[in-house]
Structure 1
């Protein structure tokens, strides 16, 4: 082949390659224009926190009541509680996706959203594995897979460290009291129950499911070594009452959000619980 023919073929190849690149650029641009940015509404405080943890806050248009972390979440419109969200307000905001807690928001309300062409994603929140699964699903859907993997990796490494550190410790009998009136505690299949297990303790109310309301006499008979109560306003008086009821028992205060919300901060709750129940060994 002559030099002139080779040069001509090369130029032709460059032109074809340039044309294909230009075509790809236009196709990607068209796809971006045809796919509007997602608009997310969260119907649970911990799911709100998940959105921020994945750096998706620019897509969050409204939240449920008690979505108070991070603080900037409190500036967003509120669409009611996770139990009874305001459907009309949600429809008015035209979200593309609504995030809900499995078993919390009534199914018929979520079905109403789906009938209006709104995607509904429901997530369980009973164990650390549920947190991983939620992060993975949201990360994959909203192009934050790498961030999700990083958060999951960090949680797994920290939990493994805690379990290794406490594996040889004696397992104290622990009670987590959620509410004082009515007297509500954390039973099996709850995040606080899993926190006790991961921190190296025994949940004395594990024979009950969910968050049962029990009589004081029942709890006294269960005879815990340690009682955990959530951090609240006016807690000094509550601690006094608790000490009068649980004479000689160890009573500690831990942020309730760290033990009950299925977010990456759950590891902070498990860490705090481990330090309290294994004091001074930890």
Structure 2
């Protein structure tokens, strides 16, 4: 009598054997990459390693070519069997604790981490991914170009940085803590994150804590919410109909990859407009 789960285990074992046979090929062969975070997909395409990606996860939507990649999971879980069918040699992950990642390693897939915590870390990560994939020169060029744009951003920092509240999410209320690249990006564009002293990436905060801090500007990403509605809610809570609210380009600003700098450029321009105008509409 076959034990429950035996067929699934046999299937995984067969896939592992196939993977091992593929892995014995020439070392000079291109990697077969599982890009298990949207920013990893973007970075690999930016440095010329896009054709080496064989699988991705949900929300990997840039560049356009990425939309056609097979999906093997999301930010919570990777389908091990589905991933192994793609015969990967390398998995690049944002979190090694995601369900399924440990199994991939057990079946012989090399696992590398990509989780930058600062803007400088994003640039270093681009170079690191170039080294992993044999695209060192392209990665160095991309990083150098982004450094030049960061210098231009530095020149645009206001003398008196506005105190800002960044609403990562609204239910529950989550912000960018001091351990997150978003907080560092805010500092670099000339904004003072009122919760930069909080540990961690995305801590929960109370409405009362936000009201006590009295930020000058509220920054609200347009991700799965009505920014105008959120702006009205905060103006009512703050008892300030002229409260300045700006929208963050979430698809750029929430991913620690090469397009983060574009998001910083856009948000800095929005903050400048908000500071120059009494119109608080988003």
Normalising by the smaller structure, the TM-score range is 0.7 to 0.9
Paired position in structure 1 for 2:211: 220
Aligned CA-pair RMSD: 2.1
Corresponding position: 1:173 with 2:163:
yes
Paired position in structure 2 for 1:237: 229
Q: With the length of structure 2 as denominator, give the TM-score of the two structures.
A: 0.81
Shift of 1:179: 0.9
Q: With the length of structure 1 as denominator, give the TM-score of the two structures.
A: 0.81
Which residue, 236, 248, 263 being the options, matches 1:269?
263
Shift of 1:229: 0.5
Q: Quick one: distance in 2 between partners of 1:109 and 1:137?
A: 24
Paired position in structure 2 for 1:254: 248
1:224-263 CA-partner distances (Å, limit 9, x unpaired): 0011011235433333323323423210002112222111
Contact in 1 for aligned 2:96/2:113 (Cα 8 Å): no
Which residue, 188, 192, 196 being the options, matches 2:182?
192
Which residue, 70, 73, 94 being the options, matches 2:66?
73
| Equivalent runs, 1:99-118 vs 2, <5 Å | 99-101=92-94, 104-106=95-97, 109-118=100-109
Q: Quick one: distance in 2 between partners of 1:239 and 1:193?
A: 21
Shift of 1:55: 1.7
**Greater gyration radius:** 1
Q: Quick one: distance in 2 between partners of 1:125 and 1:237?
A: 32
Indicate how the Cα distance of structure 1 residues 81 and 197 shifts in structure 2: closer, same or farther if over 3 A, else same: same
Contact in 1 for aligned 2:166/2:220 (Cα 8 Å): yes
Contact in 1 for aligned 2:90/2:109 (Cα 8 Å): yes
Corresponding position: 1:183 with 2:173:
yes
Indicate how the Cα distance of structure 1 residues 108 and 243 shifts in structure 2: closer, same or farther if over 3 A, else same: closer
Tell me which protein shows more helix as a share of its residues: 1
Indicate how the Cα distance of structure 1 residues 187 and 112 shifts in structure 2: closer, same or farther if over 3 A, else same: same
Contact in 1 for aligned 2:177/2:198 (Cα 8 Å): yes
Corresponding position: 1:52 with 2:45:
yes
Paired position in structure 1 for 2:202: 211
Structure 1's unaligned 5+ residue stretches are 1-31
Shift of 1:155: 1.1
Q: Quick one: distance in 1 between partners of 2:105 and 2:222?
A: 38
Answer with 42-51 or 83-92: which moved more. Answer: 83-92
Paired position in structure 2 for 1:63: 56
| Count of aligned positions | 248
Shift of 1:127: 0.8
Contact in 2 for aligned 1:82/1:100 (Cα 8 Å): no
Indicate how the Cα distance of structure 1 residues 207 and 124 shifts in structure 2: closer, same or farther if over 3 A, else same: same
| Matched residue SS, 2:156 | helix
